[in-house]
Structure 1
Amino acid sequence: MPQMVLRAGDVVQVGSEASVQFSGDRGLLFRIIRVDPRVTYDGWIWLEGYVVGPAGNALQRRRIFVRRDGLRPVMLNRGPDARPQATARNRPRPAGRT
């Protein structure tokens, strides 16, 4: 069975199949921002990313150690109104200012 290719921006369900720390009700949705390229135990990987809330928003940044085969891909329902909100960091500057 081919392994799922994980990329920045992917959202995965992390549950007990990925690690015992996520067993029971402790499973979570996780948006990947980085897959650590270092070699670890066979089948295990380090992921950096954000815990995703019900609305698809980032709740908490985390680094997790999980079994690759235990991750399940998730497609979030992101309609045309699910655009990022402008913040001070990404809001366009008024013309004429530097």
Structure 2
Amino acid sequence: MARSVRSGDVLLLTRAASPQFFRPITVRVIRVLDWTAYDGWLWIDAYQLGPDGMALARRSLYVIPGGAQFVVAPAVVPGRRRSVGRNPVRVGG
């Protein structure tokens, strides 16, 4: 049985999910929309993610869930930045 798409899922979308994804993108699902769609397709509201897992843009996308690849992604803590290429700054000690 195919897994259903839910809020919070991280998906890798390729041409298998829709021809529009000639270049694959990774998204975090905000919600599944109840818009009219062809049988087997659905509309999702999602954040497109960058390589660091941070949101780049909010998008409404039309996809075939069976073509989406579910990704296990590390959680992103709001308000915290990851240090890149240097030591983190230490405060107070």
Q: TM-score, normalised by structure 2?
A: 0.78
Question: Letter of the aligned partner of 1:50 in structure 2?
Answer: Y
RMSD: 1.5
Aligned residue among 15, 28, 32 for 1:31: 28
Deviation string 1:38-86 (CA, Å, 9 cap, x unpaired) is 44211100010100111110000000101111101001134xxx42107
1:84 is the counterpart of 2:81:
no
After superposition, residues 10-25 of structure 1 pair within 5 angstroms as 10-23=9-22
Partner of 2:38: 41
Gaps of 5+ in 2: 81-93
Q: 2: CA distance between counterparts of 1:53 and 1:73?
A: 16
Q: 2:72 — aligned with what?
A: 75
1:50 aligned onto 2:47: yes
Aligned partner letter, 1:34: R
* Structure 1 unaligned blocks of 5 or more: 87-98
Would you say how many aligned residue pairs link Structure 1 and Structure 2? 80
TM-score (normalised: structure 1): 0.74
Q: Is 1:4 aligned with 2:3?
A: yes
